[in-house]
Chains A and B, each alone.
Chain A
Amino acid sequence: MVWLRRIRQSVMLHSFLHDPVAVGSAIFLLFFLIVGFGAPLVAPHNPYDSASIDVMDSEKPPVWEEGSDERFLLGTDAQGRDMLSTILYGLRVSLIIGMGAVALQAFLGITVGLIAGYGGRWVDTLFMRLADVQLSFSTYMIAIFIGAIVKASLGVGNFERIAVPFLIVVIGLAEWPQIGRTVRASVLGEKNKEYVEAARVIGLPARRIMIRHILPNTLTPVLVISTVQVANAIMSEAALSFIGLGMPITRPSLGSLIKAGFEYIFSGSWWITILPGIVLVLLILSINLLGDWLRDYLNPKLYKS
């Protein structure tokens, strides 16, 4: 079995290396992951440290523009924070929330999908109706509503304190149906195959059959969807932050950086909003392109709605 897997992986590697788009986006993504999670080590300044920030340095353009300051490679924002550093820290926040939300989605989606697919008729109907309604109301809208209600009831100060876990939970809750439906569909497909039948005949408990026998077969589609879902989660986070239902500007994500810099484009300080915007787009694009390649390569049976 080991050698079989090795050949498979080498074929995958071969196909990967012969696709310049996939390789390029993987390099980008890897770079973002390293500088994002390594932000405290890589960033030239600490944007969370208010003592090191001087308002006199505010709105300095990037070094290739006139009137720049060479201490700030990508210029500074309205409060005088180094753009490069804030972007790196913002990237880290976006990545943490994006990956955290997808981890939660995958957990919820797999659990519910397995239970719905393997469990009885009414459990299935209940969960899938819920998924249908949630999807038809758009996951964005649901996240916005939950965000709005929580913010309205907690007040701005309390809300900001719990922003990171809140965003992970809210995006995870809003987006689980995507994975849940796929897992359920694969479970229904696998359920009646001989090997599951055989496992049942020899008296294995349902939970063991699900986890040891059915779950592995659903992982390929889950992997493909999860990749794209990370991009979606990062985008959702940015959107929520942009409308003020996400990260506060004191601990910004890429979305809140864009929001904070938005008003300054009218005075010509485009870099405060455009630079984090470019990073956000490159991040999402590299994940999407990688997801596309993964889908083409693995070609799983995705649930079609």
Chain B
Amino acid sequence: MFAFIVRRIAQAVLVMLVISVIGFAIKSAVGDPVRDLVGIAVSVEERMALREELGLNDPLPVQWVRFVTNAVQGDLGHSYFFKKPALEVILKKAPATIELVLCSSLIIVLFSIPIGIFAAVKPNNFFSRLFMSLSIVGVSIPVFLTAIILIYIFAVELHWLPSYGRGDTVRIWGFWDTGLLTWDGLKHLVLPSISLSSIMLPLFIRLIRAEMKEVLETDYIKFAKAKGLKLSRIYLLHAFKNTLLPVITVGGVQLGTMIAFTVLTETVFQWQGMGFIFLEAVERSDTSLLVAYLVVVGFIFVLVNTVVDVIYGLVNPTVRITGRK
């Protein structure tokens, strides 16, 4: 298990290095660090001097090493628009996005597992068929459209829920602005979280059902029945634990897609998170901020994928002992 974790971390570092190369490439091809620092109203000579000073005339590998060194120390460049370190700008917006993703994940987990299991155990039940039909409709509605429809119904027509922003937030731990602790903040979270989960939920219901159905056909489930175990134990322990393995793997991959969807959700709801600020950066050609977003999001992906793999290892005894999949 230890060797497995070490190998997994080494892989993660490798991927982060690749990301750093991409980030660096964007920065040196598209960005203009001089402008980021001093704006455009500076003479050519001063620019040249500043370029030299910043090391922009050094060979590319040297610049890349400097880029990585700075990045490790938390310096991802300066945001030209905000006049602040880019990482600081991104991280300030991270809690909004993370809370949104957490709430959506919660919705997905709470609904997909029972519905998926039910649909696998009773495939011919009326509700199973209904859920399956609804799920294919669900995967066919783009996230932003779900968001718009929800806004139209619950905000514009019914006036039940707010349609944009995070509402009241409270600062905890000195840096984290949370909307989870106020009634207003929670109300603002409802529509965005439902929108964000709207495609993943049916996807996971279908996935869990398919995997579970396959597991239910196996000999060990038949043997568990022959042992006279209760059906609840057979379904929820014997079958579900085996269903979990592929679901965890896909779950890790889908989290990436979900972060991509936060960009959409945040746009619709004017949700002041990382995705929202990222699109603003695109409009303003704020390269440092783009790169910072790339690195932060890349880091989150790598982190989550690594954690998912380790969890997979914990659930799957084959990995735990031999250290390989």
Interface residues of A (CB under 8 A from B): 133, 135-141, 144-145, 148-149, 151-153, 155, 231, 235, 238-239, 242-245, 255, 258-259, 262, 265-266, 268, 270, 273-274, 277, 280-281, 284-285, 288-289, 292, 304-305
Q: Are B263 and A266 in contact (CB under 8 A)?
A: no
Q: Give the interface segment out of B63-71, B99-107, B135-143.
A: B135-143
Neighbouring B residues of A141 by C-beta, 8 Å:
256-257, 259-260, 297, 301
Pair count A-B, CB < 8 A:
117
B197 within 8 A of A: no
B48 within 8 A of A: no
Bound CA span A239–B268, Å? 11
Neighbouring B residues of A270 by C-beta, 8 Å:
152, 156
Q: Are B136 and A289 in contact (CB under 8 A)?
A: yes
Bound CA span A243–B265, Å? 10
Q: Are B282 and A135 in contact (CB under 8 A)?
A: no
Chain B contact residues: helix, strand, loop or mixed:
helix
Q: Are A244 and B279 in contact (CB under 8 A)?
A: yes
Interface size class of B (residues with CB under 8 A): 35 or more
Nearest-neighbour CB distance to chain B for A158, whole angstroms, equals: 12
**Smallest Cβ-Cβ distance to B139: which chain A residue:** A288
Q: List 9 A-B contacts (CB under 8 A).
A: A148-B278, A148-B279, A239-B264, A243-B264, A258-B145, A270-B156, A273-B148, A274-B148, A305-B250
Bound CA span A149–B285, Å? 9
B314 within 8 A of A: no
Q: Are A152 and B290 in contact (CB under 8 A)?
A: yes
Nearest-neighbour CB distance to chain A for B148, whole angstroms, equals: 6
Q: Are B29 and A153 in contact (CB under 8 A)?
A: yes
Bound CA span A140–B143, Å? 12
Q: Are A239 and B259 in contact (CB under 8 A)?
A: no
Bound CA span A5–B29, Å? 55
Interface centre among A138, A153, A266 (most CB of B within 10 A): A138
Q: Are B264 and A148 in contact (CB under 8 A)?
A: no
Bound CA span A195–B293, Å? 51
Bound CA span A203–B264, Å? 54
Bound CA span A304–B207, Å? 12
B30 within 8 A of A: yes
Residue of B136, B144, B249, B260 near A288 (CB, 8 A) is B136
Nearest-neighbour CB distance to chain B for A152, whole angstroms, equals: 5
Interface centre among A139, A243, A244, A273 (most CB of B within 10 A): A243
Q: Are B256 and A138 in contact (CB under 8 A)?
A: yes
